[in-house]
C-alpha cells in the first residue's frame, strides 16, 4: 500500500492567499503546448483535439492547463520564446476544422493541407477571401461587425504587427535591421510606398489575428465551463527581430541603426562553460520609467486577456540581468546590471491583478531575487528533477516546499521524467526512491504522486509524464538550435484509463476543487 501523507486543514486557504483567486485552493495542472496536440494538418491547433484535451482534463479532475507562449514564431527555430510579436497570436494555431465547420473551407481544402499540396497559410488565405466575398455579397454581417469591433479594440498593436509581417515577407524574411534605412527607421513615405501593394496580404494577416483570438476565447470559455483554468507564459525578453522592437526602438538599448548594444544571456555555470548568449536586446529602463512602464502594462494586459494565470519567465531578470557586449564572442564577457524590479512589478501586478502571476525563479537565485518575489507575494517554482543531489537543504526537495509555490516533476526545458531517470546513477536512483510516494509503482507515477502530495498550492506534470514517455518526447533542449518544439501527442493516447488513474491521485491529495470527498 502506498504512503499517503495527510493534508493539513490550513492548506485549504492559507492567510497569505486572498479568497476567490486561482490559487486559493489546491489544484493540479498538465503542461501541454497547443502545438503538441494531435492534428492531421501538422502541428496542433485550436481545433477539435484541443476540446478533447479539455474534456480529458475535466474527467481527470485537473483544473489547470499550462501552455507555452502563443506568439507567432520564426520559421528558423519555431521557438515560442523568440516570437515575431509579444502581443499577436500564432496564426499556425488557427484551426482549419473550425473554418470548415463554419463554411469557410471545403473538405477538398482540408484534404489538400493534410496531403501537403497546400500549406495551412494558403488554406487560411482561401478562407479569408471567401469570407470577404460573402461580406461583399451582403452575408455574414453580424460577424463583420464583430470583426470591425475587434480590430478597433486591438488597434494599439494590430496594425504595427501586420505592417511588420507583410514587409518582412515581401523582403524575403530578412530581419528589420537589414531593411533599407527608410523602412528600418519607419519613415512614413517609405512605409506608405512599400505597403501600398501589400493591402490584400495586410487584410489576411489582420483577419488571421481575429480568427486566432476568436478561436482561443471560445476554447477558453469551454475550459472555464468545465472548471479548467489556462496558465500562460510571459518571456521576460523579446526577439530583436520582432514588431515590438521595430516599432518601439526607444524602449530598448539599441544604437542609432537599431542594433543592440548589449544582449541577454546567463553567465558560465556547470551546464555551459561559456554561459549562454540568448541575443535578445536589453530594455532601456530609463525610457520605460518615463511613462510608468506603459509597454509592460500593455503587454501584461494582453496576457491577462488570454490567460487566468501568467508565469513570468526568467523572473530573476527583473532584479538584475546579464548584459553581454554585442561584440563579445561568448557570454563570459557579460556583467550583472540591476533592473528596476520593484517598479516594474508594481505596474504588472496593478494591471494583472493580485494572485494572477507566477515567478519562474529557477537557476541561481540570490536573496535579492527571493525578496523581490516575496514582496509581491508571487508563487515560485520547485522542480523535482532538481531535488535529489544529496543536499538535504535543497529547496526543491518535497519537505522544503511551501504553500506559495508551483511544483513540477519537470518543465518544458527538462527531459521527460522517464528520460531523466534513465540517466541518473545508481546512488541517485536510490536517493530518489527514498523520497517518493509509492516508490515501487511504475515510473514516473511515484514522482507525480510526490508532486501531488506537496504542500505547494499547484502541482503540474507534463503530458509526457502521464504517458511514461522517454527522451524522444522531450520538448526542448536549452542551447540546442534545432530539433526543438516538435513533439506531438498521439491521438487517443490520453484515454479514460489514464484520466481515472490520475483523478484517483488528485482526490487522494485534495487537488480536485469542489470534490465532496
* Distance between CA atoms of residues 443 and 449, nearest Å: 10
92 belongs to the catalytic site:
no
* Distance between CA atoms of residues 262 and 282, nearest Å: 7
**Can you list the positions of beta strands (E) in 267-364?**
276-281, 309-312, 320-325, 335-338, 357-359
* Catalytic choice (109, 213, 308, 360): 360
Q: Is 323 helix (H, G, I), strand (E, B) or coil?
A: strand
* Catalytic choice (313, 319, 361, 465): 313
* Catalytic choice (185, 413, 441, 507): 413
Grid cell, residue 365, equals 537565485
Q: Give the angle subtended at the CA of 420 by the CAs of 414 and 424, to the nearest 5°.
A: 135
* Distance between CA atoms of residues 404 and 377, nearest Å: 8
Torsion sign over Cα 108, 113, 117, 121: positive
Q: Are 372 and 342 in contact (CB under 8 A)?
A: yes
Q: Which residue has the cell 484541443?
A: 50
413 belongs to the catalytic site:
yes
Q: Give the angle subtended at the CA of 297 by the CAs of 296 and 300, to the nearest 5°.
A: 80
**Can you list the positions of beta strands (E) in 364-478?**
380-383, 405-408, 458-462
136 belongs to the catalytic site:
no
Torsion sign over Cα 104, 106, 109, 110: positive
List active site positions: 313, 360, 413
Amino acid at each position: 500500500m502506498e504512503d499517503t501523507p495527510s493534508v493539513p486543514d490550513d492548506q485549504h486557504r492559507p492567510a497569505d492567499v486572498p479568497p476567490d483567486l486561482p490559487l486559493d485552493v489546491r489544484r493540479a495542472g498538465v503542461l501541454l503546448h497547443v502545438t503538441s496536440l494531435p492534428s492531421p494538418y501538422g502541428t496542433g491547433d485550436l481545433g477539435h483535439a484541443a476540446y478533447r484535451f479539455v474534456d480529458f482534463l475535466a474527467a481527470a479532475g485537473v483544473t489547470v492547463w499550462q501552455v507555452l507562449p502563443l506568439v507567432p514564431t520564426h520559421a528558423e527555430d519555431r521557438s515560442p520564446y523568440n516570437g515575431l510579436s509579444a502581443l499577436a497570436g500564432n496564426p499556425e494555431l488557427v484551426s482549419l476544422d473550425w473554418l470548415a465547420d463554419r463554411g469557410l473551407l471545403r473538405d477538398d481544402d482540408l484534404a489538400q493541407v493534410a496531403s501537403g499540396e497546400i500549406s495551412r497559410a494558403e488554406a487560411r488565405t482561401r478562407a479569408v477571401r471567401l469570407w470577404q466575398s460573402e461580406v461583399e455579397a451582403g452575408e455574414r454581417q453580424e460577424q463583420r461587425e464583430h470583426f470591425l469591433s475587434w480590430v478597433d479594440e486591438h488597434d494599439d498593436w494590430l496594425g504595427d504587427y501586420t505592417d511588420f509581417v507583410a514587409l518582412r515577407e515581401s523582403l524575403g524574411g530578412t530581419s528589420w535591421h537589414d531593411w533599407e534605412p527608410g523602412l528600418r527607421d519607419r519613415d512614413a513615405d517609405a512605409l506608405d510606398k512599400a505597403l501600398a501593394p501589400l493591402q490584400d496580404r495586410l487584410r489576411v494577416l489582420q483577419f488571421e489575428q481575429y480568427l486566432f483570438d476568436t478561436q482561443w476565447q471560445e476554447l477558453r470559455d469551454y475550459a472555464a465551463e468545465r472548471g479548467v483554468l489556462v496558465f500562460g507564459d510571459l518571456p521576460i525578453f523579446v526577439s530583436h527581430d520582432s514588431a515590438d522592437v521595430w516599432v518601439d526602438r526607444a524602449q530598448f538599448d539599441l544604437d542609432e541603426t537599431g542594433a543592440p548594444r548589449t544582449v541577454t544571456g546567463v553567465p558560465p555555470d556547470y551546464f555551459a562553460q561559456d554561459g549562454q548568449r540568448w541575443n535578445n536586446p536589453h530594455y532601456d529602463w530609463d525610457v520605460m520609467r518615463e511613462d510608468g512602464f506603459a509597454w509592460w502594462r500593455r503587454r501584461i494586459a494582453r496576457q491577462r486577456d488570454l490567460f487566468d494565470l501568467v508565469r513570468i519567465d526568467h523572473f530573476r531578470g527583473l532584479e538584475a540581468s546579464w548584459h553581454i557586449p554585442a561584440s563579445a564572442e561568448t557570454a563570459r564577457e557579460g556583467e550583472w546590471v540591476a533592473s528596476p524590479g520593484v517598479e516594474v512589478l508594481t505596474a504588472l501586478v496593478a494591471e494583472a491583478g493580485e494572485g494572477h502571476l507566477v515567478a519562474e525563479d529557477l537557476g541561481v537565485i540570490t536573496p535579492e531575487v527571493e525578496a523581490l518575489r516575496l514582496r509581491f507575494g508571487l508563487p515560485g517554482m520547485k522542480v523535482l528533477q532538481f531535488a535529489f543531489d544529496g543536499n538535504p537543504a535543497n529547496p526543491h526537495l518535497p519537505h522544503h516546499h511551501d504553500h506559495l509555490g508551483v511544483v513540477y516533476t519537470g518543465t518544458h526545458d527538462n527531459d521527460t521524467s522517464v528520460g531523466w531517470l534513465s540517466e541518473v546513477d545508481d546512488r541517485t536512483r536510490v536517493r530518489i526512491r527514498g523520497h517518493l510516494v509509492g516508490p515501487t509503482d511504475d515510473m514516473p507515477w511515484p514522482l507525480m504522486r510526490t508532486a501531488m502530495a506537496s504542500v505547494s498550492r499547484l502541482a503540474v506534470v507534463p503530458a509526457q509524464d502521464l504517458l511514461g514517455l522517454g527522451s524522444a518526447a522531450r520538448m526542448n533542449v536549452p542551447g540546442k538550435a534545432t530539433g526543438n518544439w516538435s513533439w506531438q501527442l498521439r491521438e487517443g493516447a490520453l484515454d479514460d484509463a489514464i484520466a481515472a488513474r490520475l483523478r484517483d491521485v488528485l482526490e487522494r491529495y485534495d487537488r480536485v476543487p469542489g470534490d465532496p470527498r
